[in-house]
Structure 1
């Protein structure tokens, strides 16, 4: 996924070049830390929302722990900013979602609802067309969705896509809060509209920054909000997910590398990425996101603690 098109400045701590010393016993059991990337320089980026920043930070630290000289450009900007930086060689790698790759970057329609098939066709096409290598695939699927204000959901007995559309049609003053690019994305609002037959008019759309959507919907200033389904704020705030019968596109994450960079140390990158992504089901990813968004733990600390947990710290 995704999200936003404006370049935003990384915070000073996140934009620093990482040159961390490798930790742990070189080649020790259960740990891939060492010096296998000694002398390798890499620029790691991410988009500008919590989950993607965190995934970029985790990879940046893991690569540095293997001896790489890592320039950290996480929180670089929205989808187009990160992708264009990768294609231009300003980034060597950043985390991307397979549904975004297939629809936005490759310009295709009707993505598979099978996560392995979607990964395979996206990876093959992007490598052939753009020399971009997709590495790994997360168990979690962080798709677009909607959350209703919790009080409204309780009063109405909950919502699915059809009942949300019916409520919007019957209540013209209802608001749906969304990010700026969601109404225009091929994998965004149009999928809800095509599935339900209801076109959300401009009068019911309110455009907000990502973080505000959650709090404004929880507070009742928005009746519904566009959300990311692994966001830790959903369980922590007065929100209830609108049930999706399988309309929205799959968004399992991979790390997208410039292929020449990947090929130079393919086995090391494959191993590191596999160890990072394998434990990340929906519950685990939401918990990591919540540490940042709810508990206000810094990205670098959440990342380092996760790497210690999985033996890459």
Structure 2
């Protein structure tokens, strides 16, 4: 009788572990992509924390590189979603230009990406992270620089350091040269996103491309120049989802929709600063922000 009881217990134990293993295997993992710089890392974690705290899904957050790489990964289904800026999609992905109104740009991007690639572009998170040019305080004072037009006049005396993507895009250096006559720098150095700040601090370069929400603008006390001819389109970030994934995961669409309008420029800049300059883990920064907003 004792032997029979032991066998029954053993069988039940095996069944319990098997059931747990099956349940574990059935938990779907949502694949979140992002580009290779601080702000995108923060956004990737914001998406992941929201999903994991409001569903039973797990998440796998992947850093993939530049815009074209992460976009192709989304179309192929290698990732399910990633954060994309309206201006980047408008110019770099759809080869459009001319529109400046944020709502018009967002609608065009949303409609075109759905029609041409079956991708779902959700509502903006709230802030506009536009490109800008930044210089050291002493450089601004020496040349009396306040605007892009100002720096264009003396650009042949200066060296600019920028990401390769900025140097090669129409909504970057290529387009700037067309809109701001005379903007021909003495040298253009392609640099990693983080290294360009060290380079400008050390005087290796005189100017750098930057995002208006970069935390390093605070850390290095850089002067942001005004885009006085309004060259750059609006860059409002929003979740971009693979269409097939979005259709089968309306719960994810709803959860990410809760982030709409929740982040302003200063809040994003502060999160970037905490990660890049204070060394706080990205996930912790995301969690603390979402709790402060009452979203967790």
TM-score, normalised with respect to structure 2: 0.86
Match of 2:259 in 1: 276
Q: Distance in 1 between matches of 2:188 and 2:71?
A: 27
1:210 and 1:41 map into 2 onto residues whose CA distance is 30
Alignment match, 1:24: none
Could you say which structure has the higher helix fraction? Answer: 2
Larger Rg: 2
* 2:236 aligned with 1:249: no
Q: Give runs of aligned pairs for residues 155-170 of structure 1, distance below 5 A.
A: 155-169=142-156
Aligned to 1:296: 279
2:44 match? 56
Shift of 1:286: 0.6
Shift in Å, 1:132: 0.3
Give the superposed CA RMSD: 1.8
Alpha carbons of 1:289 and 1:277: their partners in 2 closer, same or farther (altered >3 Å)?
farther
In structure 1, the partner of 2:210 is 227
Matches within 5 A, 1:51-200: 51-110=39-98, 112-169=99-156, 171=157, 174-200=158-184
**Could you tell me how far 1:69 is from its partner in structure 2?**
2.6
Which piece of structure 1 moves more, 253-262 or 63-72? 63-72
Q: Which runs of 5+ in 1 are unaligned?
A: 1-37
- Runs (4+) off by over 6 Å: none
User: Does the 8 Å CA contact 1:151/1:238 hold for their aligned counterparts?
Assistant: no
Q: Which residue of 1 aligns with 2:3?
A: none
Look up the match of 2:33.
Answer: 45
- Shift in Å, 1:156: 3.1
Change (3 A) 1:277 1:51: farther
Q: Which residue of 1 aligns with 2:15?
A: none
Q: Is 1:310 aligned to residue 293 of structure 2?
A: yes
**179, 187, 196: which one pairs with 1:204?**
187
Instruction: Give the count of matched residue pairs.
Output: 270
Shift of 1:200: 2.2
Which 5+ residue runs of structure 2 have no aligned equivalent?
1-25
CA shift, 1:115, in A, is 0.7
- Distance in 2 between residues matched to 1:98 and 1:114, nearest whole Å: 11
Residue 242 of structure 2 corresponds to: 258
